């Protein structure tokens, strides 16, 4: 049976106007022409230097008149402001909506008719995402349950796992989770993103970790012996995400806060060839 959770830490922006697709296409890492009813796209908004600033899901409005941006609620105002700077003469209007974001996973889920809904584009195991005019009345799960699912799959939560203006998309595995198009035209930050791929410049990766003890705060160093080889990012209880240097991903002697730490490499993950 499917589990359905309202995600109260998400907000939805509307991008309308005749130029909405071409406008967003030149600003984000993924291909906005692929957005269609029943097919959402996960993408990132970067600095001019190619570093992560935000990530979000883009849905097609069922009426075909706007794109709907499912983003972290704490970034909605920033995104609206920054995207608006690039409007110039484009026929584009950016506004907030009252949509409530939901996730569904497990078996026997039927998407609600007449509302934006699509499989999570990152991994099939992540289930579906859909937008409603209000939170679902009787959810079978909550945002904590969804967070446990996310952590178990090794999916990044941008605000909690990436550092604004510092994290590279390939460090956070956007390339392996369908968050980057390598065939679309130029976009802001594209040059560095392409260079890190083709030159094998990614030296660390975001991966799920576990401990037999409660995991410490983000930023806590991860040690191999006495050498810092990574740092903690988001966590819940004894499961979390950590940024680990490539050469220590398979290290069996890692510790954090005086306790053993274990890296769990997801089946979908592969080190770049030049980094192996």
Torsion over CA: 138, 140, 144, 150 (sign): negative
Which token pair is 125? Answer: 């195991």
Those residues of the chain that have pLDDT short of 70 are 273-276
Report the alpha-carbon distance of residue 226 to residue 83 in Å, rounded: 44
What does each C-alpha distance from 253 to 135, 185, 229, 243, 249 come to in angstroms?
Answer: 44, 44, 11, 16, 10
Between CA 268 and CA 273, with CA 270 as vertex, the angle to 5 degrees is 155
The values of phi and psi at residue 95, to 5°, are -145, 165
Nearest one of 55, 35, 48 to 193, comparing CA atoms: 48
Task: Tell me how far apart the alpha carbons of residues 27 and 88 are, in angstroms, rounded to a whole number.
Answer: 13
pLDDT at 95: 97
Whole-number pLDDT of residue 276: 41
Integer Cα distance of 11 and 37 in angstroms:
19
- pLDDT reported for residue 74: 98
Q: Which residues pair with 16 in a beta bridge?
A: 66, 93
DSSP type of residue 274? G
Report the pLDDT value the prediction gives residue 51, as an integer from 0 to 100.
97
> What domains can you pick out in the chain, each with its CATH number?
3-161 (3.30.1360.120), 203-266 (2.40.30.110)
Contact of 230 with 139, CB cutoff 8 Å: no
pLDDT one-digit tens code per residue, 72-89: 999 999 999 999 999 999
Q: What is the DSSP string of 124-181?
A: GGG-EEEEESS--SS-SS-HHHHHHHHHHHT---HHHHS-TTT--TTTTTTTTTT---
The per-residue pLDDT for range 114-163, each reduced to its tens digit, is: 999 999 999 999 999 999 999 999 899 999 999 999 999 999 999 999 99
């Amino acid at each position: 049976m499917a589990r359905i959770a309202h995600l109260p830490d998400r907000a939805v922006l509307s991008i309308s106007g005749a130029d909405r697709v071409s406008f967003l296409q030149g600003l984000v890492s993924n291909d906005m022409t692929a957005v269609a009813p029943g097919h959402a796209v996960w993408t990132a908004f970067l600095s001019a230097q190619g570093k992560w600033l935000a990530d979000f899901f883009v849905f097609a409005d069922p009426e075909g008149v706007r794109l709907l941006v499912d983003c972290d609620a704490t970034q909605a105002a920033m995104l609206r402001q920054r995207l608006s700077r690039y409007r110039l003469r484009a026929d584009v209007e950016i506004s907030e909506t009252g949509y409530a974001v939901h996730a569904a996973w497990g078996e026997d889920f039927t998407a609600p008719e007449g509302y934006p809904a699509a499989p999570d584009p990152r991994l099939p195991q992540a289930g579906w995402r859909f937008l409603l005019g209000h939170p679902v009345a009787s959810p079978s799960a909550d945002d904590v349950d969804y967070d446990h699912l996310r952590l178990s799959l090794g999916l990044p939560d941008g605000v909690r796992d990436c550092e604004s203006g510092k994290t590279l998309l390939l460090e956070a595995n956007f390339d392996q989770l369908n968050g980057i198009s390598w065939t679309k035209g130029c976009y802001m930050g594209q040059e560095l993103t392409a260079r890190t791929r083709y030159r094998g410049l990614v030296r660390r990766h975001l991966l799920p970790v576990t401990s037999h003890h409660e995991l410490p705060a983000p930023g806590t160093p991860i040690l191999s012996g006495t050498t810092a080889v990574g740092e903690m990012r988001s966590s819940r209880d004894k499961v979390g995400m950590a940024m680990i240097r490539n050469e220590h991903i398979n290290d069996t002697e890692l510790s954090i806060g005086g306790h053993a730490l274990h890296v769990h490499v997801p089946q979908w993950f592969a080190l770049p060839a030049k980094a192996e």
